[in-house]
Amino acid sequence: MRSWLASPRTGGLAALAAVIALLPLGLVNNYFYEVAILVGLNAIVCVGLNLLIGYAGQISLGHAGFFGLGAYGSAILSARFGWPPLAALIAATLTVALLAHVIGRPILRLRGHYLAMATLGMGVILSIVAATEDHWTGGPDGMSVPPFTLFGTSLSGEGAWYSVVGALLVAAVWLSLNLIESPTGRALRALSGSEVAAEVSGIDSARQKLMVFVISAVFASVAGSLTAHYSGFITPSKLSFFHSIELVTMVVFGGMASTYGAVVGAAVLTTLPQLLTVFKDYEMVVFGAIMMGTMIFMPKGLVPSLGRLAGTAVGALRGGKGVR
């Protein structure tokens, strides 16, 4: 029983589900719900992005591109072609997966700064396309998106959205935790530990990197589609470089190579700008400062640092053995 509770895959997931189930008690009005839903949607993106950045050690500065592509894919197919939103979401997701596969193949050969530059370029191109192809996307003014419907009933009301996004977030975390504790997940972590050792252990690094790149793009795309339907309106800012940086900051702040860290990072950094509306003009400055502070004071990120601290404390209580 104790090990069941201590395991991130079972105890942690139960804790997350409990938080999501109990949170509505504190959500006194629609605005709170709205923030909570945005937290959930961003957290789904971050859980996927953390697989790529945190576990596999590959950077992407263009993930807002996949998020936005999912959003615009859903928006265009449902608004301009009258597709059912679910079909639009699936089609957009498959398109993004295919695109990530095609783009990922050449650029994932690059490492470090070069990979960062290439993904940044990819994001910038997608954002320019969204801003200029105005007969499809509405250009910089954005476009409106019809509400999400599922088998004829439309998903409306903050409570309904909250439940759906909450369930999806639990599912995303579950998938991520499962993956990490599998041969594939260990292969990804091995890549960030030592690529040459991973290769000589039989891991096809190019294939694994591509796979996790596509998975993380799919997470972003699904969250993007839902965000578009939920907010009912979408602008190219969703694909912007700044949004990519926001996503990376959430992952890094919450804790790289920590699935729950990604969720916490998304929660804190989605909520923070809402609390600091006075600093609206300085949002990017605040994010930059948080990124710098994280790198300097807790390079492992919030959740792993707290976990380590707790481990040390428990070790001290148990007779000063500490954590090995």
Partner 1 sequence: MSLLRTEMLSKEFGGVSAVDSVSFEIPPGVVYSIIGPNGAGKTTLLNLLTGIYAPSGGRIFLRGEDLTGCPPHEFAQAGVARTFQNLQVFFNMSALENVMVGRYLRERCSLATALLRTPGRARAERACREEAAELMRFVGLADWLGARAEAMPYGALKRLEIARALATQPRMLLLDEPAAGLNPAEMHEIGELIGRLSSRGHTVVLVEHNMRLVMGISDHVLVLDYGRRLAEGTAEEVRRDRRVIEAYLGSAAGSDGKARNAGARAH
Task: Confirm if 239 and 127 have CB atoms less than 8 A apart.
Answer: yes
Q: Could you say which of 26, 106, 152, 202 contacts partner 1 (CB under 8 A)?
A: 202
| Closest CB 7 distance from partner 1, rounded Å | 12
The stretch among 62-70, 123-131, 176-184, 266-274 that binds partner 1 (CB under 8 A) is 176-184
Q: Is 255 in the site for partner 1 (CB under 8 A)?
A: no
Residue 319 in contact with partner 1, rule: CB under 8 A: no
CA distances from 281 to 91, 120, 235, 273 (A): 37, 23, 19, 10
Residues within window 114-173 making contact with partner 1, judged by CB under 8 A: none
Q: How far is the CB of 181 from partner 1 (least distance, A)?
A: 7
> Which residues are 150's β-sheet partners?
153
- Helices 205-231, 183-193: crossing angle, 10 deg rounding: 110
E-strand spans in 38-197?
Answer: 143-144, 149-150, 153-154
| Minimum CB distance to partner 1 smaller for 45 or for 122 | 45
Find all residues with CB under 8 Å of 132, minimum gap 6, and list them: 139
Answer yes or no: are the C-beta atoms of 258 and 238 closer than 8 Å: no
Between CA 46 and CA 317 the distance in angstroms is 34
Site for partner 1 in 228-247 (CB under 8 A): none
Our CB check for partner 1 shows the closer of 258 and 270 to be: 258
Comparing CB distances to partner 1, the nearer of 184 and 231 is 184
d(CA 162, CA 157): 9
- Shortest separation between residue 191's beta carbon and partner 1, angstroms: 9
Q: Is 310 in the site for partner 1 (CB under 8 A)?
A: no
Piece in contact with partner 1 (CB under 8 A), picked from 79-87, 90-98, 174-182, 271-279: 174-182
Least distance in Å: CB of 31 to partner 1? 35
Give alpha helix (H) positions in 138-204: 158-180, 183-193, 195-200
Q: Of residues 27, 101, 121, 199, which one binds partner 1 by CB under 8 A?
A: 199
Question: Interface with partner 1 includes 185 (CB under 8 A)?
Answer: yes
- Closest CB 141 distance from partner 1, rounded Å: 39
Is residue 99 close enough to count as binding partner 1 by CB under 8 A? no
Instruction: Name, in order, each residue with C-beta under 8 angstroms of 298's C-beta and a sequence gap of 6 or more.
Output: 305
- The backbone region for 233, taken as left when phi is positive above 0, alpha when psi lies in -120 to 50, beta otherwise, is beta
Residue in 203, 248, 250, 269 binding partner 1, rule: CB under 8 A: 203
Binding to partner 1, residues 6-45 (CB under 8 A) = 9
**Which residues face 149 on adjacent strands?**
154
The single-letter code of the amino acid at 83 is W
- Rule CB under 8 A: is residue 182 a binding residue for partner 1? yes
Which chain residues interact with partner 1 by CB under 8 A?
9, 175, 178-179, 181-187, 189-190, 192-194, 196-205, 211, 257, 324
